[in-house]
């Protein structure tokens, strides 16, 4: 196993940092309301830029398809043609929760532990109270936006780190690897990233580079359901409504108020699941709502769905004439049920993180990952850190060292697969 030299480390830092600072300036917010794929053309344009950059580092077998997916196939180092192929995956889009337009990254040199201020919002600051991990980064350079946008480390950092590793493989002949495939794809933030992925372009084993703090390895995520609830009532002039009106929106409010308050995102953490009301709209005649149900255990989510079914039955008895329709969509399952059978894939990722000089931090994702969808498709895919924190917020940040370390992990991981 080669030890990555100081020269290579410096190259990875400078290359990944330069790319990251360029990439975050490109507006690639996805749009949940769009009917097109990708949902925004800016993502496709970003893909075109990456296509050209891959060609510049001598990656000849590159595909950029009409749905915005990029597949790049890196041939193995000489003598390692029979090594298992691995895939590296990151997404092109950023969240619509906060504006991703006109991002202007700022590097805060030699962070001293005091609050970080934002040029575009005098009332906004980033402190160790906001993110305790900042205390570990004292003395490092920290990148933020100017406070009027998110930063976009989710997942421009992952893309920059993969690209830096590719550039290092191209530049330093002492770095050996088997066959490598990358896939950059759109619309992860709106849950559509893998709708049109070409499974035949991907290898049997992949790693998403989309986790948070340095050292993180994620092998478990929520089991996730989307619940649609429709209420059909009967409107009557309110002056003559006694014993006649069936007020759908009022009954919907009562129904939703019966969700257990302590099983909401505001009151749960770690391995606790929840109901999450996303929206409610309607009038006396019709109303509809959407809920998310989340837990690490399918049986707990089944209990929540049974609760809703029983609540529906009781309300249709309690309010004669109301019609309530429930629909359940399984969005993704806990990837752990697949990865627990693939311990070597996880163990090699752990070892790669350790070789990069980091403590391995095993986290359960209180959310989803495209790795979960790939696992369900038969491609085991754990999630390796990209290094950013406070994603989807104006306080989002990343230490520059994380860009280097994630690229190191990728290089070590490729070498570890040679030894298998």
User: Which residues form the catalytic set?
Assistant: 93, 188
Q: Is 235 exposed, middle or buried (0-12, 13-18, 19+ CB in 10 A)?
A: middle
Q: Tokens standing for 20?
A: 């990251």
Distance CA 227, CA 230 (A): 10
Q: Tokens standing for 263?
A: 């099983």
DSSP state of 4: P
Helix (H), strand (E) at residue 363: strand 361-365
Collapse the DSSP code of 342 into the 3-class scheme (helix H, G, I; strand E, B; otherwise coil) and give the result.
coil
- In sequence order, the 6+-apart residues with CB closer than 8 A to the CB of 231 are 248, 249, 251, 252, 255, 282, 286, 287, 288, 322, 323, 324
Q: Is the Cβ–Cβ distance between 166 and 182 less than 8 Å?
A: yes
Torsion of CA 363, 364, 366, 368, to 10 degrees: 110
Beta bridge partners of 116: 126
Burial 398-415 (b: 16+ CB within 10 A, else e): bbbbbbbbbbbbbbbbbb
């Amino acid at each position: 196993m080669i030890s990555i030299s100081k020269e290579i480390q410096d190259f990875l830092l400078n290359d990944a940092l330069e790319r990251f600072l360029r990439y975050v300036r490109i507006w690639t917010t996805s749009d949940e309301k769009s009917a097109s794929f990708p949902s925004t053309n800016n993502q496709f344009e970003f893909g075109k830029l990456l296509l050209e950059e891959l060609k510049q580092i001598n990656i000849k077998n590159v595909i950029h398809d009409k749905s915005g997916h990029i597949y790049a196939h890196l041939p193995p180092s000489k003598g390692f043609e029979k090594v298992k192929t691995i895939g590296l995956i990151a997404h092109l889009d950023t969240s619509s929760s906060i504006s991703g337009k006109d991002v202007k990254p700022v590097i805060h040199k030699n962070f001293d532990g005091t609050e970080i201020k934002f040029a575009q919002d005098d009332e906004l600051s980033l402190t160790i109270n906001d993110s305790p991990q900042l205390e570990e980064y004292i003395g490092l350079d920290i990148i933020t936006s100017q406070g009027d946008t998110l930063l976009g480390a989710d997942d421009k950092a992952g893309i920059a780190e993969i690209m830096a590793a590719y550039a290092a493989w191209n530049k330093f002949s002492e770095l050996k690897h088997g066959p490598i495939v990358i896939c950059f794809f759109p619309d992860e933030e709106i849950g559509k990233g893998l709708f049109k992925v070409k499974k035949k372009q991907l290898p049997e084993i992949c790693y998403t580079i989309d986790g948070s703090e340095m050292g993180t390895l994620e092998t478990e995520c929520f089991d996730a359901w989307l619940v649609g609830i429709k209420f059909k009532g009967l409107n009557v002039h309110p002056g003559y409504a006694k014993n006649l009106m069936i007020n759908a929106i009022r009954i919907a409010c009562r129904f939703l108020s019966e969700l257990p308050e302590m099983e909401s995102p505001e009151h749960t953490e770690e391995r606790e699941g929840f109901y999450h009301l996303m929206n409610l709209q309607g009038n006396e005649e019709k109303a509809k709502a959407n809920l998310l149900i989340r837990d690490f255990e399918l049986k707990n989510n089944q209990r929540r769905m049974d609760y809703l079914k029983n609540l529906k039955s009781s309300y249709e008895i309690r309010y004669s004439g109301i019609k309530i329709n429930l629909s359940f969509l399984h969005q993704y399952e806990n990837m752990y049920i697949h990865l627990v059978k693939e311990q070597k894939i996880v163990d090699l990722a752990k070892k790669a993180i350790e070789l990069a000089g980091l403590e391995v931090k095993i986290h359960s994702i209180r959310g989803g990952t495209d790795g979960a969808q790939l696992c369900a498709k038969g491609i085991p895919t754990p999630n390796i850190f990209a290094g950013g924190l406070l994603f989807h917020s104006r306080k989002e940040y990343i230490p520059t060292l994380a860009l280097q370390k994630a690229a190191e992990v990728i290089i070590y991981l490729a070498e570890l697969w040679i030894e298998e």
